[in-house]
Amino acid sequence: MLKEKAMPRYTRIAMDIAEAILNEEYPVGTKISGRSNLAGKYQVSPETIRKAIALLKDYEVVSSSPKSGIRILNANNAAQFIKDIASSNDNETLKDEIKALLKEKNQLDQKINDHIDRFLEISHRPKHIASFYPFELTLCKGARLVNQTISESRFWYHTGATILMVKRKGKAYLSPGPDFKFKTHDILVFICNSEDYNRTRSFINDIEDEY
């Protein structure tokens, strides 16, 4: 759920006046209190009221001059003003939410990469500490796996290895599904025992032209 973005005070006052016009608290053709009185009503400075009235003047909701004061011109324009301001506020709120989500995504990506680096680091420890180890191999040009999905390649059947992640152009695809399609230069991060490693390496580097 999107959080409501805080409007400038003068914009909220302009919205309040526009809503009062729609509710016929300020009928079209009548005058409303001057800036000083409005400033007192909303407990803001006359400059804040000036900005609010300027917004309404831009939409021809009201007219304003030192001699004639503030006159209500058009209720339909007041409705359009409210609609546009609300839509603009929603857009700004959405943009802020997207920025926050992207920031969270970048932080999560960094955390994932840190864990991957740590995971790969473990592979350099003595082999007797575990029966399965993570490995990393690059899919070369012309390899039979290129343009095949994981399902089509029957990767686990041929290798006994489990793919943890595929790195592609700086992006990490964690636990890719059976429909994931291999591309040239993909970096496959997989886990298997030492006996299956050579078989997996041969399978990944199997070149089409050799047959």
3-state SS track over the chain: CCCCCCCCHHHHHHHHHHHHHHCCCCCCCCEECCHHHHHHHHCCCHHHHHHHHHHHHHCCCEEEECCCEEEECCHHHHHHHHHHHHHHHHHHHHHHHHHHHHHHHHHHHHHHHHHHHHHHHHCCCCHHHCCCEEEEEECCCCECCCCCEHHHHCHHHHHCCEEEEEEECCEEEECCCCCCECCCCCEEEEEECHHHHHHHHHHHCCEHHHC
Give the β-pairing of 171-174 and 187-192.
unpaired
Q: One-letter amino acid identity for 132?
A: F
- Report the alpha-carbon distance of residue 189 to residue 126 in Å, rounded: 19
Evaluate whether residue 98 is within a structural domain: no
Are 81 and 131 within one domain? Answer: no
pLDDT in tens, 83-104: 888 777 766 666 777 777 778 8
What's the whole-number average pLDDT of the chain? 82
Are 73 and 27 within one domain? Answer: yes
Domain count, the chain: 2
- Report the alpha-carbon distance of residue 49 to residue 40 in Å, rounded: 10
Are 80 and 134 within one domain? Answer: no
- What CATH number corresponds to the domain at position 67? 1.10.10.10
Percent of the chain with pLDDT over 90: 31
Contact 192, 200 (CB under 8 A): yes
- Report the alpha-carbon distance of residue 193 to residue 34 in Å, rounded: 83
Evaluate whether residue 101 is within a structural domain: no
Are 140 and 67 within one domain? Answer: no
Are 196 and 151 within one domain? Answer: yes
Q: One-letter amino acid identity for 73?
A: L
Evaluate whether residue 199 is within a structural domain: yes
For residue 36, the model assigns a pLDDT of 79
Are 148 and 199 within one domain? Answer: yes
pLDDT confidence bin for 187, thresholds 50/70/90: very high
Evaluate whether residue 96 is within a structural domain: no
Considering 89, 114, 138, which residue would you say is the last residue of a domain? 89
Are 179 and 135 within one domain? Answer: yes
pTM confidence score? 0.42
Which of the pair, 107 or 77, is modelled with greater confidence? 77
Strand partners of residue 165: 174, 189
Domain extent, residue 128, equals 123-210
- What CATH number corresponds to the domain at position 176? 3.30.70.1450
Evaluate whether residue 104 is within a structural domain: no
Evaluate whether residue 83 is within a structural domain: yes
Taking residues 16-21, what's their average pLDDT?
A: 91
- Report the alpha-carbon distance of residue 39 to residue 27 in Å, rounded: 20
